[in-house]
Amino acid sequence: MGFIPLVDAAPLIVAQEKGYFAGEGLTVSLSREGSWATIRDKVAAGALDGAHMLAPIVLASSPGVGSEPRAMIAPIALNCGGAAVTLSTRLTGGGEAGARLKHLVRRRQEAGASPLTLAAVYPVSIHNYLLRHWLAGLGLNPDVDVRLTVVPPPRTAALLEDGVIEGFCAGAPWNAVAEAAGVGQTVVRVTEVWPEAPDKVLGVTEVWAAANPAILQSLIRALAAAGAWAADPHNQPELVGLLARPDYLAAPPEAIAAGLAEIVFAGPGVNPPRREQAAWLLQQMARWGQIGDVAIDKVAERTWRPDLYLAAQGG
Amino acid sequence: MRVLIIDPDPARAALVAEGLAGIDPLQVRLAAVFHESEAAAFQPDVVVVASESPDRDTLESLREASAVNPRPVVMFVDRSEPGLAEAAVRAGVAAYVVDGLSATRVRPVLEVAMSRFHLMHQLRADLAKAKADLASRKTVERAKALLMRERNLDEEAAYRLLRKLSMDTGRPLGAVAADLLAFAGVLKGGDSM
Taking an 8 Å cut-off on Cβ atoms, the answer to whether B86 and A45 are in contact is yes
> What are the tens digits of pLDDT across the range A249-258?
999 999 999 9
Q: How far apart are CA A207 and CA B66, in angstroms?
A: 35
Mean pLDDT of the B90-116 span: 81
**What is the pLDDT at residue B72?**
60
ipTM of the prediction: 0.87
Taking an 8 Å cut-off on Cβ atoms, the answer to whether B59 and A69 are in contact is no
A35 near B CB under 8 A = yes
Q: Is the pTM of this model over 0.80?
A: yes
Quick one: angle between helices A213-231 and A306-314, nearest 10?
A: 80
With 90 as the cut, is the pLDDT of residue A284 above it? yes
- Cβ under 8 Å to A: B residues 49-78: 51-61, 63-64, 66, 68, 77
Q: How far apart are CA A303 and CA A294, in angstroms?
A: 14
Of B60, B86, B90, the CB nearest to A37: B60
> What are the tens digits of pLDDT across the range A19-59?
999 999 999 999 999 999 999 989 988 999 999 999 999 99
Peptide bond into A115 cis (omega under 30): no
Are A239 and A58 in contact, with CB atoms under 8 Å apart?
no
- Cβ under 8 Å to A: B residues 91-110: 94
DSSP for A260-283?
A: HTT-B--STTTSSPPHHHHHHHHH
With 90 as the cut, is the pLDDT of residue B75 above it? no
pLDDT averaged over every residue in chain A: 94
The C-alpha torsion from A40 through A253 and A196 to A139, rounded to 10°, is -90
Are A282 and A292 in contact, with CB atoms under 8 Å apart?
no
Distances, alpha carbon A29 to alpha carbons A17, A79, B50, in Å: 11, 21, 22
Q: Which of A231, A218, A37, A49 is nearest to B50 (CA)?
A: A37
SS (H, E, C) A110-128: HHCCCCCEEEECCCCCHHH
> What are the tens digits of pLDDT across the range A88-137?
998 887 678 888 999 999 999 999 999 999 999 999 999 999 999 999 99
DSSP for chain A?
A: -EE-SSGGGHHHHHHHHTTHHHHTT-----EE-S-HHHHHHHHHHTSSS-EEEEHHHHHHTSTTT---SS-EEEEEE--B---EEEEEHHHHSSS-HHHHHHHHHHHHHHHTPPPPEEEES-SSSHHHHHHHHHHHHTT--TTTTSEEEE--GGGHHHHHHHTS-SEEEE-TTHHHHHHHTTSEEEEEEHHHH-TT-B-EEEEEEHHHHHH-HHHHHHHHHHHHHHHHHHH-GGGHHHHHHHHHSTTTT---HHHHHHHHTT-B--STTTSSPPHHHHHHHHHHHHHTTSS-S--HHHHHHHHB-HHHHHHHHH-
* Phi and psi torsions of A184, nearest 5°: -140, 160
A155 near B CB under 8 A = yes
> What are the tens digits of pLDDT across the range B132-186?
889 889 999 999 999 999 899 999 999 999 999 999 998 889 899 999 998 887 7
* Phi and psi torsions of B77, nearest 5°: -130, 110
Taking an 8 Å cut-off on Cβ atoms, the answer to whether B56 and A290 are in contact is no
The rounded Cα A1 to chain-centroid distance in angstroms is: 17
Q: Say which residues have a Cβ less than 8 Å from residue B33's Cβ, sequence separation at least 6.
A: B6, B8, B53, B55
pLDDT averaged over every residue in chain B: 84
**What is the pLDDT at residue A303?**
96
* Phi and psi torsions of A72, nearest 5°: -120, 160
Residue of B nearest to A147 (CA): B68
Quick one: angle between helices B103-151 and B84-91, nearest 10?
A: 30
Of A47, A150, A154, the CB nearest to B58: A150
